[in-house]
Structure 1
Amino acid sequence: MKAVRFHQTGGPEVLVYEDVPDPTAGPGEILIRVDAVGLNYADTMRRRGDDYPEASPVPFTLGIEVAGTVAALGEGVAGPAVGTLVLATPGAGGYAQYIAVPAQIVIPLPEGFDAVNAAALVAHGMTAAIALRKSGRLVEGETVLIEGAAGGLGSFLVQLAKLYGAGKVIAAASTPEKRAIAEKLGADATVDYRQPDWAERVKELTDGPGVDLIMETAGGDNVNRALDALAPFGRMVYLGQSSGKSAQIDPWRLTAYNHSVIGIYIAAYAAWPELMAETMNELIGFLTTGKLSINIGKVMPLSQAAEAHRLLENGLTTGKVVLQPWIEA
């Protein structure tokens, strides 16, 4: 089968589209024919060799989230039946035409779903839902600031914050086009977080105190500027660092305003499969009733994974980028 792997860390050019042995479903596993795999910033971090919670031994196959059809069932697995459209979050290995995964992480999809939308939903939709409610402890009526609001993750954060009862959602994005997308998704106001005074603009939009909850995705110098926009007793959820840069926070600055900074690593929630299944079913329900939409920015062949990484890292995408392993360039 075809897969994309890196044999050394570095820029997008280290991604190699190559032939690898076909996997088989072992005991307790399901073999999935992958029709779509979602691209995430975490993929770029692992490819670059950035500090990451899990090791990436080479040759390494990226791919956190996949959607496709059941190709085979391993010993001891009763279903879903071969041919069923499913999604899964293996954490790695999805940049391939087939993947064998534990049966317990496979979720059948209802009729009417397609693989591209399913792959876009898994990691970003789940992360957004859990970040807002579990990590961020969003309370109805609170104000929320969402960075990267037109991206794959940000698109879900804007919509779900409104669905979960946020009083005001402020979207931070780098271009007028991206801010317009965030407004169409339901943001009440927008700011350009590349401007040096953007935190003051957020305070103006909240009549002084700042926001109750920040979804931090940029990292680097942006983190301390975002904390300037946080109201007393506010929380910041650190979802990632699309800038590729970490942040230095003086713990003492958190004290006077009773600020909290909370990290989230969605893969760790695999230890709570019931929560993951409940959250996914909720998201599917929102989609099927028209309350939630999936913002697909670009669909590309898996063979163009390197170009997809370049686009994502250079901020040239909006919405979710999805790769298709069976489509030729």
Structure 2
Amino acid sequence: MSLFLPLLGKILPLYTNIVLGYLATRLLKVDRAGAAALLFYLMAPIVVFSATMGVRLDAAVALLPLFLFLFSSLMAVAALWLFKRLWPDATGNILAFTAGTGNTGYFGIALALIVFEPRVADIYIFTVLASFFYESTTGFYITAKGTFTARESLIKVLRLPVLYAFLLALILNLAGVMLPESLAAYFGQFRIAYSIIGMMLIGMGLVGFRQGGGADPRFLALTLAIKHLLWPALIALIIWTDSRFFGLLHRDLYRVMFVFAIVPLAGNTVTLAVLLKARPEKAALAVLLSTLLSIVTIPFMLAWYGME
């Protein structure tokens, strides 16, 4: 575990951005809704477009987001089936949503830019599409609990700007179109800005946080165990199985999968808890504790995996 302290040193600045985001909203009254809109509607499509254009596509790379989408959906459905009856309200649905995703976007992209070389970071950003699609399809249905129709859910998916950025970049990539070097460098700046503002947005979301009617130890234990123990364990098992018996993937994709698995709980958990009126303070506390816990778990997991 000699890598632990160097990795911790690399990751700690991410949490500085969270603190800065909190202070920006608390003291400077920065509008977090505006920051979120900037990230979602403008910067995320550019980041996804740039990464998809920069990825050298082969069968393994192209199938990785699909595999992780199916894996995420299976985790969510299994969690809903196992734990739904533990609560009389929609808490079980929120738990199921968290079981299928993590903060692969704001947190994960920032982490990928730190631990990966640019070529592999592009693959990671490309793979984050799995989370976008999961949260807008399987995750949406599970949390909506029948409140929204299939048509409303489809409209939600079709309104995702990153979808069209991805499709355009995929077509251009397959057609052999290359971005001019100056434009590629310009788009590269958006990845850094996206990771910084995205981490700050996590801190912005903590302003006004209240624990409310007390913590739910069972909810916290299950969400944190699934995200910080079960996800890494299952992905590590899949990596070991493929490397030992099948050889369908390669080392870079294994690294991408592992980083995808070790990020903290998704911030959108709180948004969906508000939507369902399922005591969102429980979700907020879980996301906060998961983000803090990842200060230790992420460098520990990366060191265990041997990733410098």
Looking at secondary structure, tell me which structure has more helix per residue.
2
TM-score range, shorter chain: under 0.3
In the superposition, the TM-score normalised over structure 2's length comes to 0.26
In the superposition, the TM-score normalised over structure 1's length comes to 0.25
Looking at secondary structure, tell me which structure has more strand per residue.
1
Higher relative contact order (CA 8 A, sep 6+): 2
